[in-house]
Structure 1
Amino acid sequence: MGIASLALLVGLAFSSLIAATYAGNFYQDFDLTWGGNRPKIFKGGQLLSLSLDIVSGSGFQSKKEYLFGRIDMQLKLVPGNSAGTVTAYYMSSQGPTHDEIDFEFLGNVSGDPYVLHTNVFTQGKGNREQQFYLWFDPSKNFHTYSIIWKPQHIIFLVDNTPIRAFKNAGKVGVPFPKSQPMRIYSSLWNADDWATRGGLVKTDWSKAPFTAYYRNFNVIDSKSSNSLSEWQTNELDAPSRRRLRWVQKYFMIYNYCTDLKRFPRGAPAECRRSF
């Protein structure tokens, strides 16, 4: 199945919201928050880069907060030997009981695949990690990484292919992010104490600076939608569920729900609810 077909299948559930789609501009929508002159905006606000060297990494955040919606961003990750580096792209509120939805790309030595690390924090609690290899080299070209955040579920997508779904299990006492608006954040930083093979492979600073690129930010904000009810319905359709199962069967390398060493008394309650 081609990318165009996948985009059509996943996009059907959101067709009525096209009018609410906003194509972003990095000057207008984001602040460069740290890293000195390492973060840069180019091409009239259409391209952004983050860099990491031995002195510092860098980062940015959105000017606006969002409560439900779909966030799309295209990234091209650090090429070559990226071991020890982490490119984080996520949504988060603030404070000790914050909510958070994470993409983290863990670098690796040349020729080895990136690890895509995902997590969901609710009321300050995370520990809901799922990790994947990708079916392409994310440093060769731009690819789209998306978060769909609705009152009933969170869906992580890569090039419109769903890779993870976190369902609202509030009925069984599991908190779900539903009341704290979140900003969008991204950072490129050194984490060679844990990122690559548990910290066994260190950052090769002779390869610095390490640089990741961003473009084509889009948001479908539920606040600006003409049909808020659309954000309270529309789960994944059957073809998308099949694609989700395909990714999880062939590309998932860690799932907290099946880690019996961490949870010897049984998987967390939300693991028993799936699409």
Structure 2
Amino acid sequence: MNNCFKCRGLIITLLISILFRDSLASVVSTGDFNKDFFVMWAPNYVNTSSNGGERSLKLDQQSGSGFASNQMFLFGRIDMQIKLVPGNSAGTVLAYYVSETLDSFDFLHFSASDINRIALQSQLASDQPNRDEIDFEFLGNVSGEPYIVQTNIYVDGFDNREERIYLWFDPTEDYHTYSILWNLHQIVFMVDSIPIRVYRNHADKGVAYPRWQPMGIKISLWNGDSWATRGGLDKIDWSKGPFIASFKDYTIDACVWEGNPRFCRADSTDNWWNKPRMSSLSREQKRWFKWVRKYHMVYDYCQDHQRLLLEELNNVHCHKRCMIGSSGGSVGSSSAPAIGADTIRLDEFVDLATLIDWMDAEDVLD
């Protein structure tokens, strides 16, 4: 199993180094967690290195923990290197997301039980009914099982846009980079520069898109065992704790909110993320995106027809995006897999030649 992880990880890394070129741009982050973030929950459970370059969060039976950015942003890109909770982490949830910001005062005056309740209900996000939010959620697993990454998007207070994938490596052995690109054109979730989800701006077709409200960065580790692992069947084994997640080498390249949305929405040199070239995935990115969705996707809300029908019958917010196409935006509905279909587990291996042949096929996403 370990050799499988390492071999596949090496192949992916080599291919990424060839296919991707990162653009140089100014950043608004210092690389020091003490300067760019504040502790919003359980300071005694947040450990930061002496130079501010590394930070960890702890969860035990008494409390979880979390921190948030000092500034708010409207569009940009965020990268964070994260090493997930190792071992039997069933029931734990690590949330890494952008949302409207709560002041630290609000959290530091809650008890641990209150905070756990709030975290479970709202992922430590604003209680405002029209909030926007862009979520990575890492759902703990039983030892030996693959980690599931859930992504979700709130727009004007509505969510229920979940997608889930299996990671193709062991995210507890080393740090990996998890990124959110948010611009006027699309939201892209990436893992080690590989796009795993795209949510395109179809506001002109009546589909809600987060484009007006500034958001802050938040990271929290908490007890989600009522739902996180196998729908809540696997509970947290507190004897395996404390549970630790680690962070380092983050980059925030985004428009700092100063009260004027027109500045952040401008197609300027500083706002490189709003340039036309950032309006869709590159050809190479589309190939990787297709690979993820074909072999690693386990849930797509647009393919959950029973749920969509029930929501429509109950007059719940209707997902117009699913009628336009898949939540991948640039892909048609026919390319979105059925729930759980064609999923490669971590103990299955695609050799390099097969992977390259598949990625060079002519049916690349439009």
Q: Same fold (TM over 0.5)?
A: yes
- Native 8 Å contact 1:162 1:244 kept in 2: yes
What code does the residue aligned with 2:26 have? A
1:33 is aligned to 2:56: no
User: 1:72-83 alignment to 2 at 5 Å?
Assistant: 72-83=79-90
- Describe how 1:1-275 pairs up with structure 2 within 5 A: 2-3=12-13, 5-6=15-16, 9-11=19-21, 15=23, 17-20=24-27, 22-93=29-100, 94=126, 95-222=128-255, 226-228=269-271, 230-234=273-277, 235-264=280-309, 268-271=319-322, 272-273=324-325, 274-275=329-330
Structure 2 CA distance for aligned equivalents of residues 149 and 239 of structure 1: 19
CA 162–24 in structure 1, closer or farther in 2 if over 3 Å, else same = same
Asked if the contact 2:76/2:273 (under 8 Å) is kept, the reply is no
User: Any idea what SS the aligned residue of 1:201 has?
Assistant: coil
Identity of aligned residues (%): 46
| Partner Cα separation in structure 1 for residue 12 and residue 169 of structure 2 | 14
Give the TM-score normalised by structure 1.
Answer: 0.93
User: Does the CA contact (< 8 Å) of 1:92 and 1:183 recur in 2?
Assistant: yes
CA distance in 1, matches of 2:272, 2:140: 40
Task: Select the structure of larger CA radius of gyration.
Answer: 2
Deviation at 1:7, TM superposition (A): 5.1
Shift of residue 169, structure 1, vs aligned partner: 1.0
Q: Answer yes or no: is the 8 Å Cα contact 2:54–2:246 preserved in 1.
A: yes
Q: Judging changes above 3 Å, is the alpha-carbon distance between structure 1 residues 32 and 7 closer, same or farther for their aligned structure 2 residues?
A: farther
**Is the contact between residue 81 and residue 109 of structure 1 (CA under 8 Å) also seen in structure 2?**
yes
Residue pair 2:81, 2:176 contacting (<8 A) in 1 also: yes
In 1, the alpha carbon distance for the partners of 2:90 and 2:289 equals: 28
Give the gaps of 5 or more residues in structure 1.
Answer: none
Aligned residues: 272
- The answer to which structure, 1 or 2, has the higher relative contact order (CA under 8 A, 6+ apart) is 1
CA distance in 1, matches of 2:199, 2:173: 29
Higher helix share: 2
Higher mean C-alpha displacement, 245-254 vs 262-271 = 262-271
Q: Distance in 1 between matches of 2:320 and 2:182?
A: 20
- Structure 2 runs not aligned, ≥5 long: 1-10, 101-125, 257-263, 331-366
- In the alignment, residue 177 of structure 1 is paired with which amino acid? P
Deviates more, 1:224-233 or 1:139-148: 224-233
